[in-house]
Structure 1
Amino acid sequence: MHQEGPYWDFKREWYGDNKDGDMLIDIICMANNLVDRDAYIIIGIDEENDYSIQDVTQDKNRRNTQMLTDFIRGKKFAGDFRPVVTVEQIQLNEGVIDVIIIHNSTNTPYFLKEKYKGVFANNIYVRLQDSNTPSDKSADFHHIEYLWKKRFGMLLSPIEKVKLYLEHPEHWENSPSSEDKKYYKYAPEFTIDHTYEPNDGRDGYEYYLFAQTDPSPHWSEIRICYHQTVLAELGGVILDGGRYFTTTPDRQGISLTGYHKWDIPYRYMIKGNLNHLVHEFYYVDDGDEARHAHNEYEGCILIFNDEIEHQEFRIYVKDNWDRKEEFANEIWIPYMKELPGYNMNSFREEYKTMQILRRMLEEFRENKK
């Protein structure tokens, strides 16, 4: 596009030691962007030379994620809320550029409580179109108001609000009518409940049940409501004879042949998604039995940090599945009592596959460091 924008900025080279203040205010402005998304400071772009690529590999001021994190950690931010930043290297035909990614967050507005090299305390800086707030000024009132509304969840849809509320189970109260129903005490129009009907005919087994001391299946329905509107319905499972309750994992698979057939089925959750938020919401570490059931359950599924990691891991598995036996050594398979009408070998195979995938995920993450 040959231009900067409301969530991206170009720099010809990395900030020198005498430019730390400029780097800090740029990061704060990007963290306080007004388009509610990740923002980017793209280093290695020469705006004055037709936006040409300037390779950064020999830049003596170059920094990585850890160095930037340490830099930000040392600054006095109000409320101790600090922007989260990472650095990604991108290889282009003309050379290497670096991108500082300032991750979107609801902790806005970010501002300092002590002055640092021309970045004033209590001034709130924002990114507006392709410009930053001047260091000696503060943003317009309505832009600051927007950032505070973002922090308090006032700009979110009901489903996004309930995701925010579920991160704080201590703020939910039991309904007077049933302990299985809870309401958010600061906005009681939001409720979550689960039902269990032992005679509804749902008595099928899943492989992860056999990791529990009591593998009997007890399935449930979880409903999240806003007033009388059902925002979401999730599957629930009562594990280990009632010692632990949680959501059922999502189901996916990988095809090695290109056909619409899952050669590698798996169960998973993604942190921040509703399913995982509810899974965390219902976990109460109130004793060894619940802790054991929780740990055994998580030991049977994949939990990804985000959707990007999920998709990258799928590619990794396809590229490395011919090595699967390397990951299969000494995998313990729980005892699975023969059940009439079930192919127990299928359960054992699915359990083994999940343990192989869990070991592959460990290697995948280690290689990403």
Structure 2
Amino acid sequence: MDFFEIRKIIRLKQEGGYWDFKREWYSQDKKADLLHDIICMANNLENRDAYIIIGVDEENDYSLVDVTTDVNRKNTQKMVDFLRDKKFAGGVRPIVYVQEVKLSGRAIDVIVIKNSYETPFYLTDNFQGVMANNIYTRIMDSNTPKNKSADIFHIEYLWKKRFRLITTPLERMKYYLQSKEDWENSPTNWESEKKYNKYYPEFTIEYTLDDDGNGYQYYLFNQTDSRPHWRKIRLYYHQTMLEEIEGVSLDGGRYFTPTPLTEGISLTKYHHWDIVYKYFIAGTLRYTIYKFYYEPDGDEETHAHRCFEECVLIFSSEREKEEFNRYVVKHWNKKDNFSYGIHIPYMPPIEGYIMEEFEKEYRNVQILKNMLEKFRLENEMEEDRGRYNQ
């Protein structure tokens, strides 16, 4: 959630297709209103996160009302508990969380309803006037009434969203790659290995079998066979290439993966990279391809995959990566405390390379992996304290 966006929305002094204002929290006798509003926002037609902003008085020129002492106030855990026992179709519920925002010295709450492809959200059992099988949405500043269902073309849009039919070909490709069982090998020449989606054969993915370059990276040395075999991965929609990224065949061809991205951290004001590491971000296209190509069909591939993962960081989001980088800058002077359990693999001398640099990169990444574990543990403890205090 963006603080500046919330402030901008309030200054508009009007409701919209993905936000709503409430003067105060929903009382106990308005549980149905809360559920109905959440469902409408989860099914919004803007294809984005939605907000129920609590602490804005529309009847008084959209002035702010502090919610600190509101007896009906809920935190994220209470919102999750509220939705848990509601009978949603397929057992799939909207993802929501509550974020406090301070504006002009007043605390307001924002119920954030995350954008999702699981639309349309609807109930299979009635709940206090919120009807089973009715599909609700939000048009401009109005919700679908509880006793009605949305217009058919809006419902059609929400189903198309679920099946990624309103997205770009690249977004659809990413979605289809998440179901490996839907892909078949395609007859091809010796230069590439190609697969197509058996339900949507216009989507294909291939990687070259001929080597492209011979450079080394530190993570190669954690393999039994450390020789590099670089490839190109290409994604196609019909004859149009949607994306091309680098891949690498590890351990003499026993395991294939897209290459990780590179990140650097500067510890001084001179902006050069003092620490370098390789990483993936969960949920991204590259990470999806990384999961797609791992098909453990024997001990050798499993071993190569595990050795590769020992050398890269996997973040849950871009935000986690940025927060971790700041954590590293703050704690790198204590790196010796995180230097446990590190074993540097044998790195044979290679002409033209400074092997000590590879060893340094490898050691630093192992330190970072230990730091990431501690970073996540501290964040979990902080979140637990926050829930307890609320």
Task: Give the one of 175, 193, 201 matched to 1:180.
Answer: 193
Equivalent residue for 2:38? 27
Secondary structure of 2:132's aligned partner: coil
Inter-partner Cα distance in structure 1 for 2:295 and 2:132: 40
Q: Deviations over 1:172-211 (max 9, x none)?
A: 111033682100111111110111214x5x2221111122
The unaligned stretches of length 5 or more in structure 1 are: none
The 3-state SS of whatever aligns with 1:210 is helix
Q: Give 2:82's aligned residue.
A: 71
CA distance in 1, matches of 2:341, 2:318: 30
State the match for 2:67 in structure 1: 56
Taking the aligned partners of 2:265 and 2:139, their CA distance within structure 1 comes to 43
Equivalent residues of 1:236, 1:247 under 8 A apart: yes
Match of 1:159 in 2: 170
The match for 1:365 among 357, 366, 376 is 376
The alpha-carbon distance between structure 1 residues 298 and 89, as it changes in their structure 2 partners (threshold 3 A), is farther
Q: Structure 1 130/151 Cα, relative in aligned 2: closer, same or farther at 3 Å?
A: same
**Map of 2:9 onto structure 1:** none
Percent identical among aligned pairs is: 57
Post-superposition CA distance 1:213-268 (Å, at most 9, x none): 22221211111111111111111111122221111001121223344422222211
My pick for the range that moved more, 337-346 or 88-97, is: 88-97
Call closer, same or farther: CA 1:365–1:19 in 2, change over 3 Å: farther
Q: Conserved in 1, the CA contact under 8 Å of 2:100 and 2:109?
A: yes
Q: Secondary structure at the match of 1:316?
A: helix
For residue 120 of structure 1, what is the aligned residue in structure 2? 131
Q: Structure 1 counterpart of 2:107, which letter?
A: V
C-alpha deviation, 1:304, in angstroms? 1.6
Counterpart CA distance in 2 for 1:329 and 1:59 is 49
State the match for 2:207 in structure 1: 194
Amino acid at match of 1:341: G
Distance 1:164 1:146 in 2: 18
TM-score normalised by the chain length of structure 1: 0.93
Local SS of the residue matching 2:21:
strand
What is the DSSP-based 3-state SS (H/G/I as helix, E as strand, rest coil) of the residue aligned with 1:251? Answer: strand
Distance 1:323 1:18, change over 3 A: farther
Stretch moving more, 358-367 or 114-123: 358-367
**CA deviations over 1:104-140 (Å, ceiling 9, x no partner):** 1111111111111111011111011112111111111
Distance change >3 Å, CA 123–CA 277, structure 1 → 2: same
Q: TM-score, normalised by structure 2?
A: 0.88
1:285 is the counterpart of 2:293: no
Distance (Å, rounded) in 1 between the aligned partners of 2:40 and 2:153: 16
Opposite residue 277 of structure 2, the aligned amino acid is Y
Higher mean alpha-carbon deviation, 180-189 vs 67-76, is at 67-76
Please say which of residues 234-243 and 103-112 is displaced more in the overlay.
Answer: 234-243
Structure 2 distance, partners of 1:117, 1:326, is 56
The answer as to whether partners of 2:131 and 2:146 remain within 8 angstroms in 1 is yes
Kindly tell me the number of residue pairs found equivalent between the two proteins.
367
For structure 2, list consecutive stretches of 5 or more residues without a partner in the other structure.
1-11, 381-390
2:260 to 233, 242, 249: 249
Matched residue type, 1:313: F
Residue pair 1:53, 1:94 contacting (<8 A) in 2 also: no
